[in-house]
Structure 1
Amino acid sequence: MVEHVTPPGSVVLGVDGSSHTHPALDVAAGEAARRGVGLHALHVYPWSAAVRSWEPREALEEGQRLVQRVAEQVASIHPAVAVTTGVVFLDPALGLVQASQSAAVVVVGAGGAGTVPGHPGEVAQKVVMHASCPVVVVRDTPAVPDGPVVVGMDPEDGAPEAMRYALEDAARRGVNLVAIQGVQSEGMRRRWKDFATRSRLDEVLTEAERANRDRLAAWRAEFPQVDLRLEQVRDDPVSALVDASDTAALTVVGTRGHGNLMGLLLGSVSRKVLQQAPVVAVVRIDED
């Protein structure tokens, strides 16, 4: 069996039977064009994953037809993007996770067989949890191509990995960046009703907001070409991010890693945004 090699630095698109018409193809092709890199269309056929030495000719030919159709579609919309293709026999999520080790970004559709409405399919969820690079998950509803990039800011450290990804993407697109930080302070106030505790809570929240403004000043200095706007809301951050995603080209969230293939812990905010926003980039935040 010939081992599959993903071109280093490429945009990897997970291909299935609907990929040639799915918005994920447009997202992946645009991503490759903006980055000036190739697009690698990868179809992972699961049937013989348990017996990798056996590769049925019919399955291989069908996979090759699928990726070739995608390659032709990409050529029609972004002729300057070089397209490579691959067909492997492996668990689909594992195949894409392996490809992520040398990719710049992996793009997958949110759907899949047995998908629960409003939730990403099993393959998309596993790739998000285990990929080594950022993963863009695309729903059936396309985003707004000329809209701003939206990013969620962590109230503790500002999520620098997610911020950098969002700023670089906004710079490539030539659009604005909206950074949103939401703190559920009203729920805290209902639990802590005494004046002293509420006063201390207000002090902590005010300090966090000040720290974020300082971080944004540093980002603005590094990315002067990006119009960066901060929205700080003392409310449910999911609602703010999802509302903003309706008119965004991309919504970026971070999630914290715990080892290479030990999995990532998707926080409640990232998970809920992933379930609702049209196009979401999940960026791994490594902890020292």
Structure 2
Amino acid sequence: MDEVFPDGAVVVGVDGTGTAGHALMWAGEEAAGRRLPVHVLYAFSPRISARSYELLPTAELVAAGEKITATAEAELRAACPGVAVTTEVQLDEPAVALVESSRRASMTVLGARGLGRVSGRLLGSVSQKVAAHAAGPVVVVREGAARTDGPVVVGVDPEHDAAVPLELAFAHAAAHGVGVRIVHAAHERRHAALADPRLQDLLGEAERLGLEAARELGARWAASHPEVPVEIRTLMGRPVDELVREAADGSLLVVGARGHHGLAGVRLGSVARGVLHEAPLVAIARRRGVPGGA
């Protein structure tokens, strides 16, 4: 039975596959840690069948969706008995339904294929669309991703709104009794072709100041959250590579939706896009109620 879900619930998209099952369990554990309800959402568009060129029967679609959500609800209640669960079946494009639900959710959780030589570079279209357009935080759980007791790794950029990913990282860490590893990676650049070599020195100074600002930012957040163990790491290297490496022993990797110097119409920055393709468990942080923005 479809139910209206309460504001602030953890919304999780399901489709009856193993990939969605990983996301379902992660959502339940997150909701239990934060004492939030879970809303299980199944969406399928009644488009023309590629084989029959006929509209798929609406009643059959709804019945199939209700079976999937009922199974997911039972699994979730068994694994997380203290969590309140609601379910919903929508005849709509999955990405559209999830983005719309994200306007009222504390976060939106969905699954994706496992990492590998090929699939690690490919994120499903639903995951990409929701990550780019949701009106709040989005967590993408890769098939095979395992929750660990490692720290929450959060990538920060002092020139952007670092408070957004930091808030999500510390909330997750406090709910699950783990620490936070604050990481700022500056991509060291060398421009031999610059007309004025002094510009290279200016770029180097800017990178140094960025690393210093990140250390100061981390120290402030550590001081304001004494109950959470905090590490601060400032690194020189390609941000995506450094963040994925630092997250290897972590429980979650958190990044902002957009980096600085981005175009207004670009809803996911290069770092967010990169870690989504490379890391098994990623949270894209954006302020709730701001569709596609950071």
Same-fold call, TM cutoff 0.5 = yes
TM-score (norm 2): 0.85
Pairing 1:32–2:37 present: no
In structure 2, the partner of 1:249 is 251
CA distance in 1, matches of 2:160, 2:252: 22
1:112-191 aligned at under 5 Å gives the runs 117-118=119-120, 119-157=122-160, 159-185=162-188, 187-188=189-190, 190=192
CA distance in 2, matches of 1:30, 1:211: 34
- Cα–Cα, structure 1 residues 169 and 190, in superposed 2: closer, same or farther, change >3 Å? farther
In structure 2, the partner of 1:233 is 235
In structure 2, the partner of 1:110 is 112
CA distance in 1, matches of 2:195, 2:173: 42
Unaligned runs of 5+ in 2: 49-55
CA deviation vs aligned residue, 1:48-67 (integer Å, no higher than 9, x gap): 59xxxx97221111111101
CA deviation vs aligned residue, 1:196-247 (integer Å, no higher than 9, x gap): 3333333222222222222222212221111111111111111111112222
CA distance in 1, matches of 2:81, 2:91: 29
Pairing 1:208–2:207 present: no
CA deviation vs aligned residue, 1:127-151 (integer Å, no higher than 9, x gap): 1111111000011121342111011
How far is 1:263 from its partner? 6.5
How far is 1:194 from its partner? 6.6
Give the AA of the match of 2:257: T
In structure 1, the partner of 2:59 is 57
CA deviation vs aligned residue, 1:80-136 (integer Å, no higher than 9, x gap): 011110001111100001110111110001249xxx722210111111111111000
- Cα–Cα, structure 1 residues 155 and 235, in superposed 2: closer, same or farther, change >3 Å? farther
Give the AA of the match of 1:68: A
Cα root mean square deviation, aligned: 2.7
Give the AA of the match of 1:213: R
Question: Contact 1:155/1:183 (CA < 8 Å) preserved in 2?
Answer: no
CA distance in 2, matches of 1:145, 1:34: 14
When structure 1 is superposed on structure 2, of 193-202 and 63-72 the one drifting more is 193-202
Question: Contact 2:3/2:86 (CA < 8 Å) preserved in 1?
Answer: no
CA deviation vs aligned residue, 1:27-71 (integer Å, no higher than 9, x gap): 11111101101111100021259xxxx972211111111011111
CA distance in 2, matches of 1:265, 1:239: 21
- The number of equivalent residue pairs is 275
Unaligned runs of 5+ in 1: none
